[in-house]
Amino acid sequence: MIEAHDPTVSASRFPANASASVRLSRNEIETLCLKAARGAGMSWGLAEEAGFVAGWLSLRGVDGAATLLAHLTEPAESDFAIVDRLWSGKGPLCSIAIGAALDDHAALPQGVGAAPVMLRALRHPLLAVPLLARMARAMATGLALNWDGGRARIAASGEIAPDGLSALLDVPETDLMVTVSTGGDIAPALAGPSPVSAQALAGLQALAMRTTVPASEQSRCGAGAAASDND
């Protein structure tokens, strides 16, 4: 049983018999996913990006939290090498790490702004979209995403059509080509926040709890102020 104001719990808790899905605010989704990513071993910087990614996708009607959970429970490389416009690692690439790196490299010779970039074996490419959308908006130019069996376009405003998100949702891993493109604007399709499945919620909470320290007699003995703060 969880006690009231349990110090080991730093986020909202939901009953184990919750319905098939739970509707959270974007802030709640981002906070939970940040802590889950941190609990899964991501650095603070990438964990913050993970929270942003899940919240961005949720606002557009996609259960990004569930995709993030799948990503966090599968191995993926954050380290990569760039050889002749090909970004690759020793194994499948982490979409969040690569998306953030593409954003950082946008104006550099190795970046998308200079020439098309091929991402080899990108794990859960959907998770890279919010970071690429942020990059497109900062660059004020559209981006084209091409992979085996599909394509999508991100407008200069940073928006992507819902069918582009749907197409990537079912792609667990792929080689992804990212290039600058031209085209008209895309109207924002803000439908969320999307409900989070109970299964995803439980998995993310389990990871988030790794960032806490269980209460003990030692932790309690020095708690509280040593003197009264009443004026």
Tell me, what's the pLDDT at 231?
Answer: 58
Strand partners, 143: 154, 180
Residue 13 lies in a domain: no
Residue 8 lies in a domain: no
> Which structural domain range is residue 152 located in?
21-184+193-208
Residue 98 lies in a domain: yes
Residue 136 lies in a domain: yes
Residue 12 lies in a domain: no
Residue 219 lies in a domain: no
Tell me, what's the pLDDT at 16?
Answer: 53
Is residue 224 exposed (0-12), middle (13-18) or buried (19+ Cβ within 10 Å)? exposed
Residue 46 lies in a domain: yes
Tell me, what's the pLDDT at 224?
Answer: 62
**Residue holding tokens 């604007």?**
185
The total of structural domains in the chain comes to 1
Tell me, what's the pLDDT at 138?
Answer: 93
Whole-angstrom distance, CA of residue 24 vs CA of residue 216: 31
Residue 105 lies in a domain: yes
| Type of residue at 40 | A
Give the chain's residues under pLDDT 70.
1-19, 215, 219-220, 222-231
